[in-house]
């Protein structure tokens, strides 16, 4: 399915207030390729540069250096109104003096389409976002979720090559947000338009995207499919930002081609298979997802042991915090399938088993 590149961002940097005391490097030599007909997400904390990258693609900002291509043609010097790219803004930016239908038809009208064509497309778009009944309402007469749909329809109506979405769901309440996530996925499938979605919500990114780019401090750290991002983070920031992770600093004591012995600060050294591509020595960081470790008996080849310091019950899961001699307790998440809590009390010694395949070894 991944075939042609829709947007090719190469070596783009953006420096705000250049040459002044307030100089900010919002994007630092960023390169990424976004494929056609893909739901692509830029994920990162606020201030990581994700919105800046989106605004560069939309044409509201101009890159300090680097190039942005759309379908192979350079677009970085074009004005926003000359780019076949539309944006859904964070607070929708709907025109308050126009009706729902007028808002949706605005882009088409500006493109100089005929009146009948505008009418037809507006009706089609209203159907697509299921807003037919409200076509003549004013923007202040409809709810936030409905405004969201109008904003989507307005941006989709001119059939852009790429739709940019700048945290469009952040103003909605949780239930509506879930609904709109499904809705967005559906719209992307039905229209076949490339979506570039910006969010700081990792769950949103994982559930909706075909591919995710994790950003921090003006750089793209990892671009991959959601399950790869979650299961194979290549960077400590990525592992930390997405989901919960246990980090264990470890020192390689002994290493051969098959196994390595690690000192994790606990009582006993830990033995792990040596990964084939690991060329580092000395200090490393291990990342283990809480649900991928389990409490086991001594016969089940435990990797290390610890003392149970806290049990937190949260309905679907129970979190066990286990003191293994490191600074932070090691957390294990166990799904409560049987309805009965496991019979463990604070202070119990427990053994921890982890399938060595799920242990991530991170560069720092």
Residues that bind another protein (CB under 8 A): 58-60, 79-81, 85-87, 89, 91, 93-99, 106-107, 110-111, 138, 154-155, 158
What are the phi and psi torsion angles at 274 (to 5°)?
Answer: -75, 125
Question: Can you tell me whether residue 330 is helix, strand or coil?
Answer: strand
| Smallest gap from residue 59 Cβ to another protein (A) | 8
Shorter beta-carbon distance to another protein: residue 81 or 364: 81
Q: Quick one: 6 or 104, whose CB is closer to another protein?
A: 104
| Displacement of CA 275 from its chain's centroid (Å) | 27
- Identify the residue whose tokens are 């606020």: 46
Give yes or no for a contact between 72 and 6, defined as CB atoms under 8 angstroms apart: no
Q: Report the relative pairing of strands 194-199 and 39-43 from DSSP bridges.
A: parallel
106 versus 197: smaller Cβ distance to another protein = 106
Nearer to another protein, 136 or 355 (CB): 136
Question: How far apart are the C-alpha atoms of 23 and 179, rounded to whole Å?
Answer: 40
Q: Please, what is the minimum distance in Å from the beta carbon of residue 93 to another protein?
A: 4
Question: Considering all CA atoms of the chain, what is the largest pairwise distance in Å, rounded to the nearest integer?
Answer: 78
In the structure encoding, which two tokens stand for residue 337, read together? 């399938």
Q: In angstroms, what is the minimal distance from the CB of 178 to another protein?
A: 26
CB of 111 to another protein, least distance (A): 5
Q: Which is nearer to another protein, 113 or 319 (CB)?
A: 113
Q: How far is the CB of 203 from another protein (least distance, A)?
A: 27
Which are the contacts of 246, defined by CB distance < 8 A and separation ≥ 6?
A: 287, 288, 289, 290, 293, 328, 330, 331
Distance from C-alpha of 288 to C-alpha of 309, rounded to nearest angstrom: 19
Residue 136: CB minimum distance to another protein, A:
8
State in angstroms the smallest separation of the CB of 236 from another protein: 36
**Where are the extended beta strands (E) located within 52-161?**
65-70, 73-74, 85-88
Cα distance from N-terminal residue to C-terminal residue, the chain: 34
Nearer to another protein, 108 or 239 (CB): 108
Q: How far is the CB of 92 from another protein (least distance, A)?
A: 8
At residue 214, the 3 state secondary structure works out as strand
Give the shortest CB-90-to-another protein separation in angstroms. 9
Closest to another protein by CB, 78 vs 296, is 78
Report the residue count for the chain.
364
State how far the alpha carbon of 139 is from the alpha carbons of 93, 108, 136, 146, 170, in Å.
10, 19, 9, 9, 19
Taking the least distance from each CB to another protein, the nearer of 88 and 214 is 88
Q: Is 234 exposed, middle or buried (0-12, 13-18, 19+ CB in 10 A)?
A: middle
Nearer to another protein (CB atom), residue 93 or residue 341: 93
Torsion sign (Cα): 64, 65, 70, 75: positive
């Amino acid at each position: 399915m991944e075939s042609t590149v829709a947007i090719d961002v190469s070596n783009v940097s953006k420096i705000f207030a250049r040459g002044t005391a307030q100089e900010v490097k919002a994007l630092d030599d960023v390169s990424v390729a976004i494929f056609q007909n893909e739901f692509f997400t830029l994920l990162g904390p606020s201030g990581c540069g994700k919105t800046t990258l989106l605004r560069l693609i939309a044409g509201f900002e101009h890159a300090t250096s680097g190039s942005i291509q759309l379908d192979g043609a350079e677009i970085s010097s074009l004005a926003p109104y000359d780019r076949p790219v539309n944006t859904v803004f964070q607070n929708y930016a709907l025109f308050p003096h126009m009706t729902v239908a007028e808002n949706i038809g605005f882009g088409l009208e500006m493109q100089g389409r005929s009146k009948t064509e505008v009418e037809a497309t507006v009706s089609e778009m209203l159907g697509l976002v299921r807003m037919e009944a409200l076509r003549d309402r004013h923007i202040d007469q409809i709810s936030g979720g409905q405004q969201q749909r109008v904003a989507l329809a307005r941006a989709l109506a001119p059939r852009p090559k790429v739709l940019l979405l700048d945290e469009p769901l952040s103003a909605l309440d949780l239930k509506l947000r879930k609904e709109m996530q499904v809705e967005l996925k559906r719209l992307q499938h039905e229209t076949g338009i490339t979506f570039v979605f910006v969010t700081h919500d990792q769950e949103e990114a994982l559930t909706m995207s075909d591919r995710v780019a994790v950003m921090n401090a003006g750089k793209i750290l990892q671009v991959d499919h959601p399950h790869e991002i979650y299961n194979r983070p290549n960077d400590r920031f990525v592992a930390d930002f997405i989901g919960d992770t246990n980090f264990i600093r470890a020192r390689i004591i002994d290493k051969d081609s098959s196994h390595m012995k690690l000192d994790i600060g606990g009582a006993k050294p830990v033995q792990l298979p040596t990964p084939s591509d690991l060329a580092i020595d000395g200090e490393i960081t291990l990342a283990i997802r809480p649900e991928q470790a389990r409490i086991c008996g001594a016969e089940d080849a435990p990797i290390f042991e610890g003392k149970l310091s806290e049990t937190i019950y949260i309905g679907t899961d129970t979190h066990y915090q286990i003191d293994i001699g490191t600074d932070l307790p090691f957390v294990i998440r166990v799904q409560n399938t049987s309805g009965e809590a496991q019979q463990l009390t604070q202070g119990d010694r427990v053994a921890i088993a982890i399938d060595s395949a799920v242990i991530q070894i991170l560069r720092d």
